[in-house]
């Protein structure tokens, strides 16, 4: 299996080599289409200068002069009318030249071999050491017509420079590969750590520390991974606590039912005692039934997808219905009800929101002392609908406010158990509101009451 480290190294080396090859092709095309004519003209001017100087000093020995020019960094080929030729300066790699070209120059024409040199993909014409890649001009030596072909001797003129650039290129490539290997290890190292951390995570080890202080994408990935690990750890703790709470909530009524059932079977009890024990068994059964329903509700809400069945309805009218449904409870405690419920239509799941108002109003009645008051308000604008439920009940301590929406959390466990609370009502309420894209806020003070503010999108 190829590791990411090996892949990055080979990919980078391939990109370097491919870029170098592509750059050569582009440079070659640039030479052929833009520089070749300019180079041809420049060499033509050099040949003409050599020819002018020779004609002005025609009395000098031609061999000596041409040999001197060759030693200055040029390659020359001179041929007479009989086809007899001689080379000066550096050797040509390819020495064959068409007789037609020679004859044409002998007749007084200039041969532009550099300009007319054919384009080749892998060879730049400027470096092709061929007699065809020259400038040819007619020259008269001792009264006899000759043809002079000349080009710069690149090896003589740029020999050290070519070696320098060749060494520079080789060391650039080698050092680049070495630094790529080293730098890639630096890049991949955090990913290796992340891989090891993922393996630990799959085994249930959530105590993972990633000392990655980089600010790039890998650093962000490590940071998000650490946050995810913390979230998973909290989720696992919540899951374990949830299972423990469910087991406890079920075990308690089951123990009561079992105990009182055995008592009813094993002892001779009065009718009054039997009625009392049967009533307790009924209450505990009802509490288990309520718990199972709430757990099923939470399970369906957690799925989220496709659970909402939205319709347009009057939310104020629905709050009134819940209030009237619980009338016997608040009248029995002589609780004053203050309502400000103007007709307000929203698009939402009617059944789920009915459960929200039932949970909140029931809690307000339950925790408000006799003679207290409950206020219900509905306000709406173009974007939101706000429902406010306020009571003058016992209130909630500040340290408990941040936890009241947790599943199975109970502010007063003894009192809640006595009143048959499971600690799931507010968790269900918050989940329903969040599914609608809304939010729920709570403000409370011990002994002064509690206020719930629900904000729903008015669409």
Strands 111-112 and 85-88 come out as unpaired
DSSP 204-272: T-----------SHHHHHHHHHHHHHHHHHHHHHHHHHHHHHHHHHHHHHHHHHHHHHHHHHHS---HH
Question: 375 falls in which pLDDT band (50, 70, 90)?
Answer: very high
More confident residue, 190 or 433: 433
Residue in the structure block whose two tokens are 């095309």? 29
**What value does the mean pLDDT take over residues 271-291?**
79
What's the start-to-end Cα distance of the chain, in Å? Answer: 54
**Range with top average pLDDT, 96-105, 175-184, 198-207, 300-309:** 96-105
Across the chain, mean pLDDT equals 80
Nearest alpha carbon to residue 77 among 96, 104, 53, 61: 96
Name the residue with higher pLDDT: 287 or 141. Answer: 141
Across the range 264-276, mean pLDDT stands at: 78
Q: Which DSSP state fits 125?
A: G
Residue pointed to by tokens 């503010």: 453
Count of CB atoms situated within 10 Å of the CB of 186 = 9
**Residue 420: band (very low, low, confident or very high) from pLDDT cuts 50, 70, 90:** very low
Tell me what the mean pLDDT of segment 278-297 comes to. 75
Q: How many percent of the chain have pLDDT more than 70?
A: 83
Please, what are the domains in the chain?
4-160 (3.30.450), 204-245 (no CATH), 305-457 (3.30.565.10)
What's residue 252's pLDDT?
Answer: 67
- Residues 355 and 428: beta-carbon distance below 8 Å: yes
Distance, CA of 422 to CA of 10 (rounded, Å): 61
Mean pLDDT in residue range 65-85: 87
Q: Compute the average pLDDT of residues 304-311.
A: 74
Does position 377 have pLDDT exceeding 90, yes or no?
yes
Summarize the confidence of residues 110-128 as an average pLDDT.
74
Output the pLDDT for position 318.
Answer: 92
Query: Any idea which residue has 């600010």 for tokens?
Result: 215
Helix pair angle (36-56, 62-71), 10° resolution: 140
Q: Which residues contact 321 (CB under 8 A, 6 or more apart)?
A: 354
Per-residue pLDDT band for 387 (boundaries 50, 70, 90) equals very high
Instruction: Answer for the pair 317, 275: CB distance below 8 angstroms, yes or no.
Output: no
Could you tell me which residue, 249 or 36, shows the higher pLDDT? Answer: 36
pLDDT for 149: 92
DSSP state string for 312-330: EEEHHHHHHHHHHHTHHHH
Kindly report, residue by residue over 238-260, the tens digit of the pLDDT.
677 667 666 766 776 787 788 87
Cβ–Cβ contacts within 10 Å for residue 35, how many? 15
Query: What pLDDT, in 10s, does the model give residues 394-414?
Result: 888 887 787 787 766 666 544
**What pLDDT shows up at residue 170?**
80
Q: What does each C-alpha distance from 269 to 232, 263, 439 come to in angstroms?
A: 53, 9, 53
């Amino acid at each position: 299996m190829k590791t990411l480290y090996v892949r990055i190294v080979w990919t980078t080396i391939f990109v370097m080599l491919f870029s170098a090859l592509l750059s050569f092709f582009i440079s070659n095309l640039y030479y052929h289409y833009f520089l070749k004519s300019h180079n041809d003209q420049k060499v033509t001017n050099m040949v003409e200068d050599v020819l002018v100087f020779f004609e002005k000093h025609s009395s000098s020995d031609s061999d000596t002069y041409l040999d001197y020019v060759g030693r200055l960094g040029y390659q020359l080929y001179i041929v007479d009318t009989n086809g007899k030729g001689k080379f000066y300066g550096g050797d040509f790699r390819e020495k064959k030249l068409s007789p037609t070209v020679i004859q044409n120059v002998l007749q007084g024409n200039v041969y532009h071999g550099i300009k007319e040199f054919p384009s080749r993909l892998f060879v730049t014409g400027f470096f092709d050491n061929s007699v065809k890649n020259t400038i040819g001009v007619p020259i008269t030596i001792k009264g006899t017509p000759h043809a002079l072909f000349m080009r710069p001797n690149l090896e003589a003129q740029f020999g050290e420079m070519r070696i320098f650039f060749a060494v520079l290129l080789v060391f650039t490539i080698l050092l680049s590969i070495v630094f790529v290997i080293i730098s890639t290890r630096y890049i991949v190292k955090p990913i290796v750590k992340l891989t090891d951390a993922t393996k630990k995570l799959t085994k249930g080890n959530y105590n993972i520390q990633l000392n990655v202080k980089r600010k790039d994408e890998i650093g962000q990935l490590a940071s998000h991974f650490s946050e995810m690990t913390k979230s998973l750890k909290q989720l696992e703790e919540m899951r374990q606590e949830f299972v423990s709470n469910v087991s406890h909530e079920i075990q308690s009524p089951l123990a009561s039912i079992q105990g009182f059932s055995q008592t009813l079977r094993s002892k001779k009890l009065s009718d009054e005692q039997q009625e009392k024990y049967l009533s307790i068994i009924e209450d505990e059964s009802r509490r288990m039934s309520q718990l199972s329903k709430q757990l099923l509700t939470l399970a369906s809400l957690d799925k989220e997808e496709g659970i909402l069945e939205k319709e347009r309805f009057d939310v104020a009218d629905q709050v009134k219905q819940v209030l009237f449904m619980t009338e016997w409870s608040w009248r029995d405690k002589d609780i004053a009800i203050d309502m400000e419920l103007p007709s307000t239509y929203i698009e939402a799941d009617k059944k789920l929101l009915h459960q929200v108002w039932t949970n909140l109003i029931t809690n307000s009645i339950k925790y408000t002392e006799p003679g207290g008051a409950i206020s219900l308000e509905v306000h709406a604008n173009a974007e939101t609908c706000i429902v406010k439920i306020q009571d003058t009940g016992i209130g909630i301590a500040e340290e408990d406010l941040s936890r009241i929406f947790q599943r199975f959390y109970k502010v007063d466990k003894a009192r809640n158990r006595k009143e048959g609370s499971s600690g799931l009502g507010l968790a269900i309420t918050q989940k329903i509101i969040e599914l609608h894209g809304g939010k729920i806020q709570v403000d409370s003070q011990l002994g002064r009451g509690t206020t719930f503010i629900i904000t729903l999108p008015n669409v």
